[in-house]
Structures are given as C-alpha cells and as structure tokens.
C-alpha cells in the first residue's frame, strides 16, 4: 500500500471532491482517480460512491479515514525522529480573528522568529465557523477563537480563558465618569463595531436581542486598531476586548464605560483538531502562544 495513495485518499475524503484534491495536491484529476482506484483494488472494497458528480465515503471509506490518519501521523513522527538537526524547522498555519492577528504580529512575532528562525508562520483571519471548517479539512494547524464557549469531541482545547470585554469611549465622553450605566442609556450613541455575525460581535448582538434591542452601527470594520483610533478622536462608542483597548485606556485616550446590565461571556480558545499530528515545531509554536497570549500557562500533553 503506497503512502501517497493514502494521502490522496485523505484529501478526497476531507474535501469531498476529486478535483479539489487534485488542485491541492498539484496532481491531475486523472492521477487522483487512478490512485484511488489502486487503493480500492488493493483493499478489495469501494471507498467512495460517485453519483451525479458527488463524492461520498462508503462505510468502508469512513473506517479507512481513521487508519489513514494514523499511518500518516506515525510516518511523519518517524521522519521527524530521524532528523538530527538542532534547529526546529516547519511551517505553521494559524487562523485567528483580525484583532488577535494584529496583536500577535505586532507584539510577539519578531521575538518568536528570533527564537525559532526555522519555523515559518502563515497567519489567516476568519470567522469562527470558517476556522472550524478549515480545521476539519486540515487547512489550518491551529486556531484562536474569540467567541462563546466552544466544545466538540473532534477538537482539542489546548488552552482557554474567559475574555474581559468593555464598552469603550473617548475619555472626554459624557459617560466617562458615570456609574451604573444601562445599555438603554447608550443604545442610540454612534457605535463602531466589528463585522456583523462574526465572533464576539455575534455574541454581543445575541445578548442585545434577548433584551429586544438592536444597534445599527455607523461603521462596521474588522480592524480593531482603526476602531480604537477613531473612538479616541470622536464621540463614538464600541464594545471591544481589553487586550485591544488596554494601552489606550492606560494612556488616557479611551475609558471603560460602567455598563451594568449586559452580561456577555466571551472565551478565548486555542484549538486544534484531535487528529492533528503534533510535530515538534507545532508543539513549540503552541507552547509559545500559551505563554504569551494567555494569563496562565498550559502545555499540550
């Protein structure tokens, strides 16, 4: 049984398409079809049902996915153990919300690169649902979510913690020194919010809906650095994580509003797929994130 045929099988199974698998692997579609046919003949069973241009796993195909991942994982682990290089090498793909990406790159990336120059990193930003889809299709190694608490048996939560969030405004705002503010007091203020339906914005809108309230922001944008800058220069209001606004509050440009009747629980979670092989470079990268991005240390066992 050829390893490359198993790798092709995994890609077809995860992408649900011979064409997509061929594009991702750099093969022709005929090559992918031939490799799957070889595998089916060798195993003596049908792995995919091909009906009206759709591709679905058979029962035997579903069973093979587990074993194929195991074989590929053990092969990769063996190859890595053969390497005697002192320097860690590898490529990591992490998917995060815009705010986390901006923060990690500006604050931590240079330090990480100096410590581990052999590990290259690709950052992608996406909504939570897209992140999980990318994990399911092995298009991302690890994700960081800022959303309601997520749990699924298919994923490993490497580290998690509740995220501190506040309504923020210019320090000269009329609400700056007021106590026990109600959401009704600020609901009609000009709001700048992150994009609709994504991450903590989605949770925020859901909590508003429970009170039969809705905010129509004057501006929606994923760039939290732009949001904080605009608020510091205007009478606008926003709802943001503290790690985004902390430095602005400390410098006196922004202030936290004492809104007392919005109970919004947001979680920061570092997640990978349960079938993801933990290479030394990926393990090192995630340990670094846990140390730098979370309030208390936790290492994946």
pLDDT digits (tens, 9 = 90+) for 158-189: 999 998 999 999 999 999 989 999 999 999 99
Backbone dihedral region for residue 108 (phi beyond 0: left; psi -120 to 50: alpha; all else: beta): alpha
Q: Which of 58, 172, 149, 120 is nearest to 279 (CA)?
A: 120
Question: Is the distance from CB of 151 to CB of 231 less than 8 angstroms?
Answer: no
pLDDT for residue 5:
87
- The pLDDT, as a whole number, for residue 267 is 92
Q: What are phi and psi of 45, to 5 degrees?
A: -155, 160
Distances (CA, A) of 150 to 155, 264, 268, 271: 10, 15, 10, 10
Q: Kindly state the tokens that stand for 30.
A: 């005929």
Overall residue count recorded for the chain in this entry: 301
Query: Are 235 and 111 in contact, with CB atoms under 8 Å apart?
Result: no
What's residue 168's pLDDT? 95
The stretches in the chain having pLDDT less than 50 are: 297-301
Tell me if 125 sits within 8 A of 222, measured CB to CB: yes
d(CA 284, CA 107): 18
Query: Which of 228, 213, 99 is CA-nearest to residue 169?
Result: 228
């Amino acid at each position: 049984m050829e390893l490359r045929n198993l790798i092709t099988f995994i890609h077809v199974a995860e992408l649900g398409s011979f064409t997509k698998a061929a594009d991702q692997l750099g093969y022709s579609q005929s090559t992918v079809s031939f490799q799957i046919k070889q595998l089916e003949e060798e195993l003596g069973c049908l792995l995919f049902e091909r009906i009206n241009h759709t591709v679905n796993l058979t029962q035997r195909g579903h069973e093979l996915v587990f074993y194929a991942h195991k074989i590929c994982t053990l092969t990769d682990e063996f190859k890595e153990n053969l390497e005697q290089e002192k320097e860690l090498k590898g490529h990591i793909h992490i998917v995060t919300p815009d705010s986390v990406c901006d923060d990690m790159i500006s604050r931590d990336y240079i330090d990480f690169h100096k410590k581990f120059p052999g590990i290259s990193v690709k950052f992608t930003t996406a909504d939570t649902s897209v992140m999980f889809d990318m994990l399911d299709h092995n298009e991302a190694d690890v994700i960081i979510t800022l959303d309601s608490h997520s749990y699924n048996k298919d994923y490993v939560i490497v580290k998690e913690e509740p995220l501190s969030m506040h309504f923020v405004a210019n320090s000269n705002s009329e609400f700056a020194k007021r106590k026990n503010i109600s959401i009704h007091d600020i609901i009609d203020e000009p709001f700048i919010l992150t994009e609709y339906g994504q991450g903590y914005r989605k949770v925020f809108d859901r909590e508003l809906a429970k009170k039969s309230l809705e905010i129509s922001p004057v501006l929606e944008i994923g760039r939290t650095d732009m949001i904080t800058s605009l608020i510091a220069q205007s009478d606008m209001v926003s709802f943001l994580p503290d790690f985004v606004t902390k430095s602005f509050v400390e410098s006196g440009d922004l202030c936290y509003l004492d809104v007392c009747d919005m109970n919004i629980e947001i979680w920061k979670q570092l997640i990978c797929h349960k079938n993801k092989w933990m290479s030394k470079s990926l393990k090192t990268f995630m340990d670094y994130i846990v140390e730098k991005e979370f309030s208390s240390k936790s290492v994946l066992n």
